Amino acid sequence: MRSIPISFVTAVLAVCVSFFPGGSAVAKTAPPDFVELAKKLKPSVVNISTAKVVNPQQRFRRPQQSPFWADPFQDFFERFFEGMPSQPRTQRSLGSGFIISNEGYILTNNHVVANADEIKVRLSDGREFKGQVKGSDEKLDLALIKIDARDHLPVATLGDSDAIEVGEWVLAIGNPFGLAETVTAGIVSAKGRVIGSGPYDDFIQTDASINPGNSGGPLVNARGEVVGINTAIVAGGQGIG
Dist. CA 91–CA 50, nearest whole Å: 8
| Active site annotation includes 136 | no
Q: Kindly name the residue from 141, 161, 197, 207 that is annotated as catalytic.
A: 141
Environment class of 139 (CB within 10 Å of its CB; exposed 0-12, middle 13-18, buried 19+): exposed
| Active site annotation includes 111 | yes
Inter-residue contact 1 to 204 (CB < 8 Å):
no
Q: Kindly name the residue from 111, 189, 197, 209 that is annotated as catalytic.
A: 111
- Measured at the CA of 113, the angle between CA 108 and CA 114, to 5 degrees, comes to 120
Dist. CA 36–CA 34, nearest whole Å: 6
| Active site annotation includes 215 | yes
Dihedral (C-alpha) 192, 194, 197, 202: value to the nearest 10 degrees?
10
User: Which residues are the active-site residues?
Assistant: 111, 141, 215
